[in-house]
Amino acid sequence: MSFAHLIAFTAGLLLLYYGAGWLVRGSSTLARSLGLTPMVVGLTVVAFGTSTPELVVSMVSAFKGKSMIALGNVVGSNICNIALVLGLTAVFHPVTTGRVVITRDIPLMLVVSAYLLLLSFNSTIGRVEGLSLFVGILAYTWFNYKVALRVDRTMPGKAVLEARLPAGKIGLADKRWGQCLMIAGGTGAVVLGADLLVDAAVSIMTALGVDEKFVGLTVVAFGTSVPELATSVVAAMKKEMDISLGNLVGSNVFNLLSVVGATAMVRPIVIDGGFIGSGLVVDYLVMMAISALPLLLMKQDLTITRGKGLILLGCYVAYVIFLIVKD
């Protein structure tokens, strides 16, 4: 492993982080300038935009014949979002959510996870299976849109949704040409960043003698979750909780349906060594267990306290240690 590989990996992370930000800001301000309401923009443009790093990294990995990085990226990102991002955020400031997240959103995420588990048992996620996942994300977006139409603008859920939008038009985002430039630049940065990240990760993987599943579940997954992690921790430190468990759950659903679905539609995902033989089934089960953990922690008061946040962080650390020891 050379210093150049570390530089390339770091550059890839930075391009993913800033590129996703430019893409979301440019596309959301453009959509609003064209007359779309903040609610619609939040449910479509911003929701898809924040999943761009995972989507592009998974697609690039699949094209390079590194399917285990592609799938590991999604599974690892979902574990990271709940255990690391939510846990660390709660340590800085307790996170409270609405009951609908417990009664509807998390169970839906678990159902989608179980469906992906079933699709993976034959060790291949083909184009038709990918299409079924992608149809799922379209249905999920449509359902959320219909539900949001019935929610008054003053309701907390709506306020959280609109808080995710970039605040105010500043600089390039003030002009139509600037918005288009930000979209183009953000897209280019994310694509280039994903290419650098995957190539560097493969080189590091080879040098350290670890398999690509491990790299996808840990290093790459953490890298694509950096935007959510940075946003959540900064918001918590400022006590401006524009990130919520509902948003993280939504991000996980998008990862499972749109990222895996779109990647498989472009190029079927083949699980090297088999779903059981590769041990990926264990990672799926860990993802589902950690995804269900907030149901137990928030059953009484709908709040992730600092103590509960430490439990989530402990689960993430334990999982990473398990992966290191196993490999």
pTM, two decimal places: 0.79
Average pLDDT, the chain: 79
Range of 13-17, 177-181, 225-229, 317-321 with top mean pLDDT: 317-321
Residue scoring higher pLDDT (111 or 272): 111
What's the pLDDT score for residue 153? 46
The letter for the amino acid at 161 is: L
- pLDDT score for 156: 46
Report the half-sphere exposure of 199 (CA within 13 A, side-chain side). 13
Asked whether residue 103 carries a pLDDT value surpassing 90, the answer given is no
Which of 50-64, 113-127, 159-173, 218-232 is predicted with the least confidence, judged by mean pLDDT? Answer: 159-173
In 10 A of CB 306, how many CB atoms? Answer: 12
Q: What pLDDT, in 10s, does the model give residues 272-298?
A: 889 999 889 999 999 999 999 998 898
pLDDT, mean of residues 192-215 = 77
Whether residue 41 has pLDDT greater than 90: no
Q: Which residues of 174-185 are buried (b: 16+ CB within 10 A; e: fewer)?
A: eeeebbeebbeb
Top mean-pLDDT range of 47-56, 91-100, 236-245: 91-100
H-type helices in the chain, by residue range? 3-33, 38-41, 47-49, 52-63, 67-79, 87-92, 99-100, 106-120, 127-149, 156-163, 176-208, 212-215, 221-224, 226-237, 245-254, 260-266, 280-297, 306-326
Sign of CA dihedral 251, 106, 223, 158: positive
Q: Is 60 helix (H, G, I), strand (E, B) or coil?
A: helix
CA distance 47 to 95: 20
325: its two tokens: 């020891």
Residue 102 CA to residue 246 CA, distance in Å, equals 9
Q: Give the highest mean pLDDT range of 74-83, 150-159, 161-170.
A: 74-83
Residue 48 pLDDT level (bands cut at 50, 70, 90)? low
The more confidently predicted of residues 79 and 324 is 79
> Which domains, ranges and CATH numbers included, belong to the chain?
3-326 (1.20.1420.30)
With contact defined as beta carbons under 8 Å apart, do 26 and 179 qualify? Answer: yes
What per-residue confidence (pLDDT) applies to 240? 52
Q: Would the pLDDT of 78 be above 60?
A: yes
**The predicted structure's pLDDT at residue 266:** 87
pLDDT value, residue 117? 95
For residues 46-60, average pLDDT: 73
